[in-house]
Amino acid sequence: MPTVRWYNNRRVRGVLYQIIVLGGVVALAAYLVDNTLHNLERRSIATGFDFLGREAGFGISETLIDYSPADTYFHALLVGLFNTLKVSIIGIVLATVLGTIAGIARLSRNWLVAQFATFYVETLRNIPVLLQLFFWYALITEALPVPREALNPLPGVFLSARGMRFPEPVWGATHVAMLVALIVGIVAAVILARWARRRQERTGQIFPTGASATALILGLPAIAYIAGGAPTALDMPELRGFNFTGGVVVTPEFAALLIGLVLYTGTFIAEIVRGGILAVSHGQTEAGLALGLSRGLVTRLIVLPQALRVIIPPLTSQYLNLTKNSSLAVAIGFPDLVSVANTAINQTGQAVEGVAIIMAVYLTISLSISAFMNWYNQRIALKGGR
């Protein structure tokens, strides 16, 4: 049998090709880095992240944490990061709820409900999300009156072109205790749900998990509120000059961004939910109806749990898309991470570092979402031997 020369061995050639490609990528990256550093040095542009410790010197219109122009660039970027996370987390929750309802509604036996859901999905998912953000921002700022003529639908609630204002509790020790009680209630509800599931698998007896979990999540904070003296002090919005002060404000920029992202992403989630439900054999529905269950219970207890295995993987992509699309906030003036970083870049000239920070943050957020969704997907997957 003739001897095969090493350069004709498929495995050796495969390894060799990979080494050549990897070497080319490393060489290209080294060239780009060296060329960038050379150009920066020639233009006398400082490099590094030392600028993060310098005073920012610019204001940010909306913050979750205390901030002033005297704070550092690092603190300003942290404010932008929290704003991005606020939009992303609230948007993911609302888009999931809206998409699930719309996806189920498209399969409704009620013609009007199904057509309305179809119109919503087919219309909004074919309009670029940036145009939708512009539309909602213009609608909020142009359709609503000025603060002096603000709408007052409820006592203490005011709607104007400057946003929505509503009362805020004057925070104290009782509210901190309520927050701790809420966290304890959520943890206890999760533990109770796991215990109830194991008990049902072992004995077949159903425990009222929903009612018990609701009692824990709402009851414990209520007990903490009553035990703390049931404080009723509120920080009420007041018109001073040309705008309101006090209370909680939902700015037009935040509202337009959230509405646009939720409505747009909800259309894709609706199609994912609809596809997941259709992937479940219709025999499952017929079996549930034959047992005397209502269609609502069949959907909630039989169809949706099985559809989740089809829904979760593409749903992860939509969560990532919503998070990344939040960077469009810069177009309507919401101070997210990209907007704050752009301001920092314009003032310091540290473009490479600023873009690197933005990329690293979004990469970290995306990988975190993917890791959580992959963990959940593995948790609900069918295991061998079941």
The pLDDT value given to residue 274 = 92
Q: What is the CATH number of the domain that holds 256?
A: 1.10.3720.10
**Two structure tokens written together for 321:** 């898309």
Q: Which domain holds residue 372?
A: 73-144+249-380
Q: Are 18 and 97 within one domain?
A: no
Q: Are 41 and 77 within one domain?
A: no
Q: In DSSP terms, which residues pair with 235 in a beta bridge?
A: 168
Q: HSE on the CB side for 138, CA within 13 Å?
A: 6
The pLDDT value given to residue 385 = 46
Considering the domain boundaries, does residue 207 fall inside one? no
Strand 234-235 with 168-169, pairing: antiparallel
Q: How far is CA 56 from CA 189, 264, 305, 329, 336, in A?
A: 44, 35, 50, 21, 16
**Two structure tokens written together for 27:** 């060489």
Domain count for the chain:
2
Considering the domain boundaries, does residue 208 fall inside one? no
Q: HSE on the CB side for 313, CA within 13 Å?
A: 6
Q: How far is CA 45 from CA 1, 344, 349, 352, 383, in A?
A: 66, 15, 7, 11, 57
pLDDT 10s digit of each residue in the chain, 386 long? 556 566 677 787 888 889 999 999 999 989 988 887 777 777 766 677 888 999 998 999 888 889 999 999 999 999 999 999 999 999 999 999 999 999 999 988 899 999 999 999 999 999 999 999 999 999 999 888 888 888 888 888 888 888 888 888 888 888 889 999 999 999 999 999 889 888 888 887 778 888 888 899 999 999 999 998 888 888 888 888 788 888 888 899 999 999 999 999 999 999 999 999 888 888 888 888 888 878 778 887 788 888 888 899 999 999 999 999 999 999 998 999 999 999 999 998 888 889 999 999 999 999 999 999 998 888 877 665 44
Considering the domain boundaries, does residue 206 fall inside one? no
Considering the domain boundaries, does residue 340 fall inside one? yes
The answer to whether the Cα torsion of 264, 266, 272, 277 is positive or negative is: negative
Q: Are 287 and 370 within one domain?
A: yes
The pLDDT value given to residue 116 = 95
Distance CA 7, CA 260 (A): 57
Q: Are 363 and 325 within one domain?
A: yes
End-to-end, the C-alpha distance of the chain in Å comes to: 51
Q: Are 293 and 363 within one domain?
A: yes
Q: Are 136 and 253 within one domain?
A: yes
Q: Are 343 and 275 within one domain?
A: yes
Q: Are 335 and 296 within one domain?
A: yes
* Residue at 268: amino acid letter: F
The pLDDT value given to residue 263 = 96
Name the 3-class secondary structure at 238. strand
Q: HSE on the CB side for 273, CA within 13 Å?
A: 24
pTM above 0.95, yes or no: no
Q: Are 36 and 79 within one domain?
A: no
Q: Are 41 and 97 within one domain?
A: no
Distance CA 81, CA 132 (A): 23
The pLDDT value given to residue 45 = 67
**Two structure tokens written together for 337:** 């991470």
Distance CA 371, CA 363 (A): 12
Q: Are 16 and 85 within one domain?
A: no
Q: Do 51 and 73 form a contact (C-beta atoms < 8 A)?
A: yes
Running DSSP on this structure, what letter comes out for residue 247? Answer: S
Q: Do 21 and 325 form a contact (C-beta atoms < 8 A)?
A: no
Q: Is 118 exposed, middle or buried (0-12, 13-18, 19+ CB in 10 A)?
A: middle
The pLDDT value given to residue 35 = 84
Q: Are 12 and 98 within one domain?
A: no
Considering the domain boundaries, does residue 35 fall inside one? yes
Q: Do 125 and 217 form a contact (C-beta atoms < 8 A)?
A: no
